[in-house]
Amino acid sequence: MPAVAPPPTFSGYGLGLRREHYQDFLDAERPVAVDFVEVISENFMVDGGQPRHILRQVRQRHPVALHGVSLSIGSADGPRPDYLQRLRALVDEIDPLFVSDHLSWSRIGDFNSHDLLPLPYTTEALDIVCANIEVAQSALGRAILLENPSSYLHFPEQAMSEWEFIERMCARTGCGLLLDVNNIYVSAVNHGFDANDYLAGIPADRVLQIHLAGHSQGAELLIDTHDSAVAPAVWALYAAARARCGDVATMVERDAAIPPLPELLAELDTARRIGAKGTA
């Protein structure tokens, strides 16, 4: 395992900071009742201008988690050094709670799909992902968190389950796990596995943050759309996740059809109530 500082532990409830709510979060008279905010890293890995200015202001009021979508930790040819340099500069400025991305790949060679594409859970992919995590953690000077993906494909050559892959990945690299409960549910329905087997199989002590989001029914598969409220079945799975993982940071994600802030804060209150029961 490489010599990087372990991710910090933090408990509390947060929301994703989205453009539609910037003014709410910048209103000094009425602070938003969250314990932290999470931002999409790439939106702020820019040279200058208003986005960085807004993030600096929000950071003065709340702890911030950086959540990326383009690290491409599963690329066979490794993460891009220029991407890591930009992310490191943001990390150094913001001093985030967590730096996270997804257990997926987006880029190969010069092609960048800008989508979170699935990995086959093979020993070769595990070796590549672990090597890439070590490159990223070394470049960033800290341990990262990786989020379990929602997936719509199953590869015939898979040698292990997703949760076995994650357990080995965390053990080899020291990285943390950002557990997306909605993604577990979506993938369980799409691939026909038991979500409780997944929860039982992950390394609970490596779970440092939980995501909650909504999904939609596609033509044949459930789709992780982040455009609706958290579904009842996902709340039930969240309760089970909290019972297994303890008092870890939880946030609600909404990336499309974004409602007024009070609606999201009400969802966060639901998470608080479930969390209070689960850790009482």
Question: Residues interacting with other proteins, by CB under 8 A?
Answer: 42-43, 45-53, 70, 74-77, 80, 82-83, 86, 105, 108-115, 117, 119-120, 122, 124-125, 128, 151-157, 190, 218-221, 223
Distance between CA 235 and CA 271 in Å, rounded? 8
Query: Least distance to other proteins from the beta carbon of 213, Å?
Result: 15
Q: Are 65 and 98 in contact (CB under 8 A)?
A: yes
Report the alpha-carbon distance of residue 180 to residue 53 in Å, rounded.
29
Cβ nearer to other proteins, comparing 159 with 240: 159
The single-letter code of the amino acid at 34 is: V
Write the DSSP assignment of 60-98 as a string of letters: HHS-EEEE-S---TT-TT---HHHHHHHHHHHHHH--S-
Encoding tokens for residue 173? 């690299």
CA distances from 252 to 37, 45, 88, 120 (A): 10, 23, 25, 28
The least CB distance from residue 91 to other proteins, in Å, is 16
User: What's the min distance (Å) between Cβ of 5 and other proteins?
Assistant: 25
State in angstroms the smallest separation of the CB of 184 from other proteins: 17
Smaller CB separation from other proteins, 109 or 262: 109
Q: Rounded to whole angstroms, what are the CA distances from 79 to 16, 20, 182?
A: 25, 31, 27
Nearer to other proteins, 153 or 171 (CB): 153
For other proteins, the closer of residues 33 and 155 by Cβ is 155
Nearest to other proteins of 154, 244 (CB atom): 154
In angstroms, what is the minimal distance from the CB of 245 to other proteins? 29
